[in-house]
């Protein structure tokens, strides 16, 4: 596993997300009140981009069919989604956000 720098901490406001392509993988970085989280951008229901969805509390709601996932764990929380999202570790280094991805 390798760490990839994606942005500065000041680039993503609280209660928002930003999409990045990290080593060929589409990843959403979320800034919640209690921390930073990263998941796959691709909905496990029908491969829609979750970056087109909305944050609702601690969930990302897919814009295609209204299914949702827990941003912190990747767990499916609302039908029609049943398969969890892949999640990635996030760390802060000198005011930069880094995401851990397989090289």
The structural domains of the chain, with segments of one domain joined by +, span 2-101
Q: Which residues of 73-97 are buried (b: 16+ CB within 10 A; e: fewer)?
A: ebebbbeebeebbebbebeeeeeeb
Give residue-wise pLDDT tens across range 13-60. 999 999 999 999 999 999 999 999 999 999 999 999 999 999 999 999
The structure's pTM equals: 0.94
Are 68 and 79 in contact by the 8 Å Cβ rule? The answer is no
CA atoms within 13 A on the CB side of 26: 11
- CATH fold of 2-101: Rieske Iron-sulfur Protein (2.102.10)
């Amino acid at each position: 596993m390798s760490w990839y720098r994606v942005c500065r901490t000041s680039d993503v406001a609280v209660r928002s997300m930003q999409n990045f392509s990290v080593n060929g993988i589409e990843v959403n970085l979320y800034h919640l009140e209690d921390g930073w989280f990263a998941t796959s951008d691709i909905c496990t229901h029908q491969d829609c981009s979750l970056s087109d969805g909305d944050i609702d509390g601690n969930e990302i709601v897919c814009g295609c069919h209204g299914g949702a996932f827990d941003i912190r764990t990747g767990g499916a929380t609302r039908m029609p989604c049943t398969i969890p999202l892949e999640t990635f570790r996030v760390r802060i280094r000198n005011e930069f956000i880094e995401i851990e991805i397989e090289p």
